[in-house]
Amino acid sequence: MNDPVYLYRGEVFYFKASPLDTDDFYCYFPDGLLVVSQGKIIETGTYQDIKDRYPETSITDYSGKLLMPGLIDSHVHYPQSEMIGMYGRQLLDWLNEYTYPTEEAFCNPEYAERVARFFVNELFRNGTTTCMAYATVHKESVDALFSVASGYNMQMLTGKVLMNRNAPQVLMDTEESGESDSRELIETWHKKGRNLYVITPRFSITSTHGQLISAARLHEEYPDTYVQTHLSENKNEIDSTLSLSPECTDYLEVYERAGLVTERAVFGHCIHLSDSECRRMAEAGAIIAHCPTSNLFLGSGLFDMQQANRINIRTTLATDVGGGTSFSLFRTMGEAYKVQQLNGYSMPVFESLYKCTRGTAKALKLDDKIGSFEQGREADFIVVDYAATPSQQIRKEYLERNGKWDLENKLFGIQTLGDDRNIRATYVAGNRVYLSDSGNHQETG
Ligand code: GUN
Ligand code: ZN
């Protein structure tokens, strides 16, 4: 018996390449079909070209809506879901007053599971199908998130936070326990289903050199894991870091000396990097996660995307919830645009969207699995309503009247005015995991 096939009709869009590298960087079928079987993409093309090959198969009709690969959030803290939007002033006050007390509760597995479930569903409601997330110092917090993600067969990257200094006693591990707990979690979860482990020293202020070395050792032992940490987010953080590591001339060197700057390492923020730090990151192939809503909310500074592009550093966009103020990567793209406006760079919407989809998948070496609709990719995709609000609707009518309702204007509207309200449906591995209440799609024979 043949495997069942599922057909989805709509405006099919995905990136073929980076808009920074070529002019021929996307595929777009205004009246397209997406063909899915066994949770994988079989093919895409125009409705006219493909429909007759599947005469017996019913079509889920999302005509007029955008079908695109699910969004990828490269830096987010799931335990901070509840403390989003707290009046925390700047980074170090905010960590001490809100973040650490909130994270203490994750020693309780039921509590961790409740928040993990909320978090994953909130990702789906916002069109995010993959994330690289921080858990807390507790092993239970990692078990909870991987378990919930496994229930949806979702591509999940996370890991236990390592912290052995300058944090509340109950949130600290030791060099030895941090390493052995991480190893145990890697053995349990890494590459089980779609789960991938991320070795997670929180940042230099909360990890001794010895702990950073142990993180690097673990990464060497399991070279297909990832590393995530924070770098150069806030001026006081940088001063504190350099006074804890007086032998280093800059912040990046703290991680370099430990051997943590590699092409599988994602560094959150990177706002105040020197040209030398940027060049060294590019040479190492390291990845930046730019988190604009967080950077504005915590007053951390304006990340310089042009500097990163010029020096050829792989850069992705991320929410950084709960320092970030929205789970929506559309909202995040809109804020990234405004941050770059203040730097004198009107970042094209194709660049920001690439940095939430195929660009992130490629940076994480997962582009053979996610981030596009090429044949054999996982069927992680979203259905986007261009006109979910009255102002989006009136803007659409205006552009239509003026003959300018083209792809770029459509996407720019999603970026500037869009959020969770624009997500009509979310699919993970071919299964629908979210459908908005206002969904009015139809099944047709
Ligand atoms: N630096 C160290 N920990 C954190 C965190 O939880 N959030 C942010 N934004 N920066 C950090
Ligand atoms: Zn963060």
Among 75, 78, 84, 91, say which to mutate for ligand 1: greatest number of ligand atoms within 8 Å of CB.
91
Type of residue found at 425? A
Whether the Cβ atoms of residue 151 and residue 194 lie closer than 8 Å to each other: no
For residue 323, which ligand has an atom nearest its CA?
Answer: 1
CA-CA distances (angstroms) from residue 184 to 159, 177, 199, 220? Answer: 11, 10, 12, 15
Nearest C-alpha to atom 1 of ligand 1 is from which residue?
A: 230
What ipTM describes this predicted complex? 0.99
Strand-pair partners of 381: 69, 427
Span from the CA of 92 to the centroid of ligand 1 (angstroms): 8
Atom of ligand 1 nearest to the CA of 298: 9
Span from the CA of 391 to the centroid of ligand 2 (angstroms): 32
Q: Cα–Cα distance between 432 and 428 in angstroms, integer?
A: 6
Q: Cα–Cα distance between 41 and 374 in angstroms, integer?
A: 7
Residues with CB under 6 A from ligand 1: 77, 91, 95, 99, 202-203, 230, 233, 294, 320, 323
Backbone angles phi, psi at 313, to 5 degrees: -90, 140
Q: Cα–Cα distance between 177 and 218 in angstroms, integer?
A: 13
Note down pLDDT in tens along the chain; length 445 residues.
588 999 999 999 999 999 999 999 999 999 999 999 999 999 999 999 999 999 999 999 999 999 999 999 999 999 999 999 999 789 999 999 999 999 999 999 999 999 999 999 999 999 999 999 999 999 999 999 999 999 999 999 999 999 999 999 999 999 999 999 999 999 999 999 999 999 999 999 999 999 999 999 999 999 999 999 999 999 999 999 999 999 999 999 999 999 999 999 999 999 999 999 999 999 999 999 999 999 999 999 999 999 999 999 999 999 999 999 999 999 999 999 999 999 999 999 999 999 999 999 999 999 999 999 999 999 999 999 999 999 999 999 999 999 999 999 999 999 999 999 999 999 999 999 999 987 444 444 3
Nearest Cα residue to 162 out of 215, 236, 84, 106: 215
User: What was the pLDDT predicted at 105?
Assistant: 98
- The pTM assigned to this predicted structure is 0.97
User: Exposed (0-12), middle (13-18) or buried (19+): which is 155, by Cβ within 10 Å?
Assistant: buried
Nearest C-alpha to atom 11 of ligand 1 is from which residue?
A: 230
Among 76, 77, 171, 244, say which to mutate for ligand 1: greatest number of ligand atoms within 8 Å of CB.
77
Among 78, 99, 272, 300, say which to mutate for ligand 1: greatest number of ligand atoms within 8 Å of CB.
99
Atom of ligand 1 nearest to the CA of 320: 9
User: For the chain, which residues make up each domain, given as ranges?
Assistant: 5-70+373-444, 71-363
| Residues less than 5 Å from ion ligand 2, measured at CB | 268, 320
Nearest C-alpha to atom 8 of ligand 1 is from which residue?
A: 323
For residue 233, which ligand has an atom nearest its CA?
Answer: 1
Nearest Cα residue to 106 out of 82, 73, 139: 139
Atom of ligand 1 nearest to the CA of 300: 9
Cα of 88 vs its chain's centroid, Å: 23
Q: Encode pLDDT of 411-428 as tens digits.
A: 999 999 999 999 999 999
Residue with tokens 């590298």: 21
Residue with tokens 């995709």: 381
For residue 295, which ligand has an atom nearest its CA?
Answer: 1
Kindly give, in sequence order, each residue whose CB lies less than 8 Å from that of residue 108, ignoring residues fewer than 6 positions away: 140
Nearest C-alpha to atom 7 of ligand 1 is from which residue?
A: 323
Tell me: cis bond preceding 322? Omega within 30 of 0 counts. yes
Can you read off the two tokens belonging to residue 124? Answer: 């789906």
Residue with tokens 């490269």: 74
Fold for 71-363, please state it.
TIM Barrel (3.20.20)
Span from the CA of 173 to the centroid of ligand 1 (angstroms): 17
Among 202, 235, 238, 266, say which to mutate for ligand 1: greatest number of ligand atoms within 8 Å of CB.
202
Nearest C-alpha to atom 9 of ligand 1 is from which residue?
A: 323
Fold for 5-70+373-444, please state it.
Urease, subunit C; domain 1 (2.30.40)
Give the dihedral sign, CA 324/330/334/340.
positive
CATH topology identical between 5-70+373-444 and 71-363? no
Whether the Cβ atoms of residue 392 and residue 401 lie closer than 8 Å to each other: no
User: What was the pLDDT predicted at 1?
Assistant: 59
User: What was the pLDDT predicted at 88?
Assistant: 77
Nearest C-alpha to atom 3 of ligand 1 is from which residue?
A: 202
For residue 267, which ligand has an atom nearest its CA?
Answer: 2
How many alpha carbons fall within 13 Å on the CB side of residue 324? 29
Kindly give, in sequence order, each residue whose CB lies less than 8 Å from that of residue 243, ignoring residues fewer than 6 positions away: none
Span from the CA of 156 to the centroid of ligand 1 (angstroms): 20
Span from the CA of 75 to the centroid of ligand 2 (angstroms): 6
